[in-house]
Structure 1
Amino acid sequence: MIKQQFSSVWTREPRQPKVAGLRRDQIVGAALEVLDAEGLDALSMRKLGAKLNVGATTLYWHVANKDELLELALDEIWGLVHIPDPDQTPWREVATTFAYNFRLTMLEHRWVATLIGSLPSVGPKAFELTDRLRRAFISAGFTGIDIYLASSALTSYVLGQVVPEVTAAKAFGDKGFDSEMMLDAMDSLAADYPEMLAEYREALPADPGTVRAMAFDFGLLCVLDGLESRLRR
């Protein structure tokens, strides 16, 4: 089986702009505007060139293709996930701040959920964020590969919570289903489970956003408690 060769925009030196030409950061900034306003499917090199009032040749001077452009945009998103200095902040505070800011960043830039995992995150801002998490887990007491496994567990938790949230918002809008109508439908669809239906009506808030926030809080505490328990052992 032939393995796919690794390729990234970050493995080669960026080209300098031609005289009075467009800089790469300007191209990336315009791409982010299109992505935030219209989504991933709307971005094309042709549309981006029109937005910047340049021809395709100018864009391809800086990036070989759309995937390279998206790599650059993805790294800008990693740079938006702010966390405190792990050398001056307790590890749980660093991890908690990362989790909430990562969730918020993904919800504000929903197109990024599709890119994480499908494109390499090997840019400078991704490495800076990774190193901060690494240092936080070292200060907690993790050693060896457990440092990276702990960081991965935390990141995977956030992705697992937020990706379905982003997908649902794209499919059904920010407000989602009418909760009362859904519960009324469940009265017949799940009639064999009356205790569960009663618990849904009594325990769950009516606002879907509140439910999602509660679920995120609960799961995050479980992840951090689990990591701390592993350290004690």
Structure 2
Amino acid sequence: MPRDTLTADRIVRAAIELLDDEGLDGLNMRSLAQRLGSAATAVYWHIKNKDDLVRLASDAVWDEVELPALDTGDWRTAAAAHATGVYAMLTRHPWLVQAFGSHLLYGPGQARHNDFVLAVYEKAGFAPADADRAAATTLAFVLGSTLGPAAQVSLNRRLSRSGEGAEQAMADAMASATETARRFPRLRERLGTTAATEYAGAPDDSFAFGLRSVLDGFEARLAAGGA
């Protein structure tokens, strides 16, 4: 593909696909250029370096999250809908969770959502400084909730690349973890229960419970007089 047929938008979209498939460790200009049918040198005409590419890709995926209607609805409904949308986006792109801890991420996409969340908590009745704290608390909860799924994707990818059987390695780890759990009374009681066997397959239940608890806490704080 000639250099002049490439655009920054096409490169970023291809980078997102590559990141979804291979993770942060699998992103490099050579692999990206192969996806684009171009030379790696042509990519550099549009993107400065890998860090810049990760920043642009991370900002682009924020456009997948719909901003709820705040003018026509209550603050709690908007806060819950937005946090759930961000959680879903991060689950689709688990590499972004890792990027938060290893890259400087900023851009208009993320800034638009940050501004919206501040508006949500200001509408709730928080003073600006406490609105900042509420927004940070919600984001920290959402990010924490996606660590498990993101780690699972990363682990499966690493095991498949190492040549080990991912299913067998996971089975061996689960067996060892079960034996360890038997030493502790509350964990032992839960072994073999539905909660123990289905939790990994249904993390949304835990996320919804936690999000309700966070928002309940915000409401209680506001009812008690804010800060």
Aligned to 1:213: 204
Alignment partners' CA distance in 1, 2:201 and 2:79: 22
Paired residues in the alignment total 213
Corresponding residue SS for 1:61: coil
Q: CA deviation at 1:20?
A: 4.0
**Structure 1, residues 116-155: CA drift from partner, whole Å, max 9, x if none?**
1432332111111111111111110111211111011001
Q: In the alignment, is residue 62 of structure 1 matched against residue 49 of structure 2?
A: no
Aligned to 1:27: 11
Amino acid at match of 2:96: V
Alignment partners' CA distance in 2, 1:60 and 1:193: 55
TM-score, L = length of structure 2:
0.81
The correspondence of residues 177-188 of structure 1 with structure 2, limited to 5 A, is 182=174, 186=178
Q: Tell me, which stretches of 5 or more residues in structure 1 are unaligned? A: 1-17
Q: In the alignment, is residue 100 of structure 1 matched against residue 74 of structure 2?
A: no
Q: CA deviation at 1:210?
A: 4.8
- 8 Å contact from structure 1 (residues 28, 69) kept in 2: yes
Q: CA deviation at 1:58?
A: 2.4
Aligned to 2:214: 223
Amino acid at match of 2:125: G
Q: In the alignment, is residue 121 of structure 1 matched against residue 105 of structure 2?
A: yes
More helix by share: 2
Q: Tell me, which stretches of 5 or more residues in structure 2 are unaligned? A: 158-165
Amino acid at match of 1:142: F
The correspondence of residues 2-41 of structure 1 with structure 2, limited to 5 A, is 20-41=4-25
- 8 Å contact from structure 2 (residues 29, 40) kept in 1: yes
Give the RMSD, CA atoms, in angstroms: 2.9
- 8 Å contact from structure 1 (residues 46, 56) kept in 2: yes
Q: CA deviation at 1:107?
A: 1.4
- 8 Å contact from structure 2 (residues 65, 86) kept in 1: yes
Q: In the alignment, is residue 204 of structure 1 matched against residue 195 of structure 2?
A: yes
**Structure 1, residues 194-219: CA drift from partner, whole Å, max 9, x if none?**
45422454562532345522221221
Q: 1:35 to 1:195 in 2, by over 3 A?
A: closer
Q: CA deviation at 1:64?
A: 1.4
TM-score, L = length of structure 1:
0.79
Amino acid at match of 1:197: R
Q: 1:61 to 1:224 in 2, by over 3 A?
A: same
Aligned to 2:223: 232
Q: 1:140 to 1:191 in 2, by over 3 A?
A: same
Q: CA deviation at 1:172?
A: 5.0
Q: In the alignment, is residue 82 of structure 1 matched against residue 66 of structure 2?
A: yes
* Percent identical residues: 32
- 8 Å contact from structure 2 (residues 11, 43) kept in 1: yes
